[in-house]
Amino acid sequence: MSQTAPSNRPESEETAGLHDRIRARLDRVTDPELDESILELGYIDAIELDERTATLRFTLPTAWCSPAFAWMMAVDARDELESLPEIGEARIELRDHMHEREINEGVNGRLPFADAFPDADGEVRSVRATLDDKARLSRQYLAVERLLAAGLSPEQIVALTPADLRFDPDVDPRMDGARASIALGDGAFSVSVPARPLDRYLRKARDVGHATSDDDPLFLTPEGEPIEVEAFELVRRRGRLARTNVTGQGGVCDALNEQRRAKLDRDGPVIVEAD
């Protein structure tokens, strides 16, 4: 989906590999309201690489998107880029936003959100925790629906652990058509299901501290407790509500972003190697 800017010199295998790793890391950064990757949403305009410094430029659907949400995306993008050994420093440039100066100066200056926005009501950590938990429930709902469609019973679903999931190590689980297998009956047989919903759920669950051990329950109640079979339908309805809440709250921004993307003559961020 993404593209690399043409260069005066041929792209080496090493350079192409770095570009792929950059996209993979940025795919983990989500719009906290939509719970979708900023890479897939098309927010990223360009990435400039100059030796060990990466400059990421991005634009949100509107100039008035929540500064707290914009801050989270900027910080997460910076941290994901700097997790790559080839990148020593990431610089973030939010554009066309009413608080772009405060966000760019704060994020690049490594300031806490409260220092950049001293008059803000509340702080980012609690907002992030609330949105992460909502995203976990939303993703859990989608994963559980896939398992039910594959024929698993509520009893089988609530008994699953991360050890029961099998992802093909040679296939990116985010790719269309990627499959995962679910081991059942102490591994005596397995069921094949789409990999992406399970991979997205497991990553978010682990981000918030759940399902960290292979023997932990895979799916949990909204309160983070194991699901009793008798409560399965109630937890499922609460997950559906969380999913509806995520898609409903992000509907306006999503529509505005689609309009913005339709005006662009590219389908992904341009990655430029400095001369």
Two tokens at 196? 């992406």
Spans of all domains in the chain:
13-124+251-273, 129-249
Residue 242: which of 129, 137, 131 has the closest Cα?
137
Per-residue pLDDT tens digits for 48-80: 999 999 999 999 998 998 999 999 999 999 999
Two tokens at 164? 């029961």
What is the pLDDT, as a whole number, of residue 255? 64
In the predicted model, what is the mean pLDDT of residues 223-233?
97
Q: How do beta strands 89-95 and 53-59 pair?
A: parallel
Per-residue pLDDT tens digits for 172-189: 898 889 999 999 977 778
Has this prediction a pTM greater than 0.85?
A: no
**Could you give the CA distance from residue 96 to residue 229 in angstroms, rounded to a whole number?**
50
In the predicted model, what is the mean pLDDT of residues 104-112?
97
CATH of domain 13-124+251-273: 3.30.300.130
